[in-house]
Amino acid sequence: MSAPSRFDRGHTDDLMSFLAASPTPYHAVANAAERLEKAGFRQVAETDAWDGATGGRYVLRGGAIIAWYVPEGADAHTPFRIVGAHTDSPNLRVKPRPDSGAHGWRQVAVEIYGGPLLNSWLDRDLGLAGRLSLRDGSTRLVNVDRPLLRVPQLAIHLDRSVNADGLKLDKQRHMQPVWGLGDDVRDGDLISFLEETAGLASGEVTGWDLMVHSVEAPACLGRDRELVAGPRMDNLLSVHAGTAALAAVAAKGSALPYIPVLAAFDHEENGSQSDTGADGPLLGGVLERSVFARGGSYEDRARAFAGTVCLSSDTGHAVHPNYAERHDPTHHPRIDGGPILKVNVNNRYATDGSGRSVFAAACEKADVPFQSFVSNNAMPCGTTIGPITAARHGIRTVDIGVAILSMHSARELCGAKDPYLLANALVAFLEG
C-alpha cells in the first residue's frame, strides 16, 4: 500500500506548534478545546442537563477532554467511533513544599512522575508550567516558558568512572533543579514568583499542579528535514492528530454511521487510575449521557456500546539503528513507514484479529501504509489505555500509534510524515 502522493508538511508544522504550546496536560486540553471551538464545537458542563441536539460538544475535566460530534439522523443506539489518547508525559513535578536548597544554591523540590529517562533532563534549560488553584475556587494556567531551572550534572572529574560504569542517578538526591543563589531559603518563594508572573495577588494561590519542561523548541532535523525532534510526542502527537481528525470529520457535516469521539485522558503514565484517567468513569459517563440525552434507554446504551470501536493511539518503538537486537527480529517498524498496529497476545495491547481488520480498512480507505509492532519475547512489553478501555467499557479496542525513538526522553524523535499519515487514517476510521 503506497503513501498518499502529497505530503502536507503543514500538519507537522502545526504539530510542532501544538507541542510547544502544551507544556502540561492542562495546556494541552485547553489548546485542543480552542481548536474544536473554531470547528464549531461547544463546551458542556458536567453539572448541567444535556440535550440531544446534533453537532459538536466537549467536556473538560482537569487534564482530560472528551469531545464528540452527533450527526444528523443519529439514533439513540448509534455506535461510537473513538480515538483514545493521553495528555500526560513523564517529567519532574513540584512537591507540596517546593522551596529547597543547600550550600548557597536555591532549588525546587520535585517528584518523579511516570518513567522518564532521567539523564535526558540533565543540563537542560527548563521552564515551569501547570495549574494554579485559587482561593475563590477557580484555576489559572501558568507557563514560565524561559530558562528558569536546571538539573546540573556532576563533572566527570568528580566521577571518573561514569563513562565506564554508566551514569547512576538517585531520584531523590540528584534530580533537584537549581533556580538561583542564596542561603536564605524561604517557604513560599516559588509560589510568590508564580503569582507575580500570572498577575495574581499575593496569597491568592492555595494549591498547585506544576511541572518542569524543556524550553527548547521543537525542530525539524536531518539532511532533508525529514525528522522532527520535540518534547511530549508521547502522547501529544496522538492528541493533536485526534483533534485534527475529529474537526475534519465534523466539518464535512455529512450523515455518519457512527458518532465520532476524541477521548484524551490524563495519568496514563502512572496507571490511569484517577477521575481523569482511562481507568476512571469519565468516558463511560459521557457516552452514556449522550445516549440518554437523545432519548435512549439502557438497552440503547448496550446496543451502542456493542457496536463501538476505539482506536487507542499512542506512540510505539521504531527500530533503533544502534540497538536493533532489542527489537523482534521480524518486526522492525520504520520511521515514516506509516502508523503501527501494536499487538501483544498477553493483552498488554488490546488488538486482536477483528480489530486489525478495522484498522486495515481505515488505512486502505485513506491510502495510508501501516506496520505491525510486536515486542521482543525476551523483553517485557509496555501497555496503553487500550486494554483498560476494552475491559472497563466492554468495547472493541485496537492499539495503534506512531513509531518514534527516545520514548520517555525530555526530547523525542519521529518522522515528519508519520503524524500526517496517522491523522489521515484517523479521519477514515471516524468516518466509518
181-193 residues labelled b (16+ CB within 10 A) or e (exposed) = eeeeeeeebbbbe
Q: What is the pLDDT of residue 267?
A: 98
Residue 145 in 3-state DSSP?
strand
- Computed from CA positions of residues 14, 15, 21, 27, in that sequence, does the dihedral angle turn out positive or negative? positive
What is the pLDDT, as a whole number, of residue 7?
67
pLDDT recorded at residue 54: 95
- Grouping H, G, I as helix, E, B as strand and the rest as coil, residue 158 is helix
Mean pLDDT of 128-144: 97
Q: Is the pLDDT at 1 greater than 50, yes or no?
A: no
Residues 276-295, mean pLDDT to the nearest whole number: 97
pLDDT above 80 for 2:
no
The helix/strand/coil state of 36 is: helix
Contacts of 192 (CB under 8 A, 6+ apart): 202
Residue with cell 538561583: 180
For the segment 240-283, what is each residue's pLDDT rounded down to a tens digit? 999 999 999 999 877 899 999 999 999 999 999 999 999 999 99
**Could you tell me the pLDDT band of residue 359, with boundaries at 50, 70 and 90?**
very high
Instruction: State residue 253's pLDDT score.
Output: 77
Q: Residue 60 — very low, low, confident or very high, per pLDDT cuts 50/70/90? A: very high
Q: Is 406 left (phi over 0), alpha (psi -120 to 50) or beta?
A: left
Q: Which three cell numbers stand for residue 59?
A: 467536556
- Residue 233 in 3-state DSSP? helix
pLDDT in tens, 67-126: 999 999 999 999 999 999 999 999 999 999 999 999 999 999 999 999 999 999 999 999
Residue 183 has a pLDDT of 87
Residue 69 grid coordinates: 460530534
Query: Strands 42-43, 219-221: parallel, antiparallel or unpaired by DSSP?
Result: unpaired
Q: What is the pLDDT of residue 264?
A: 98
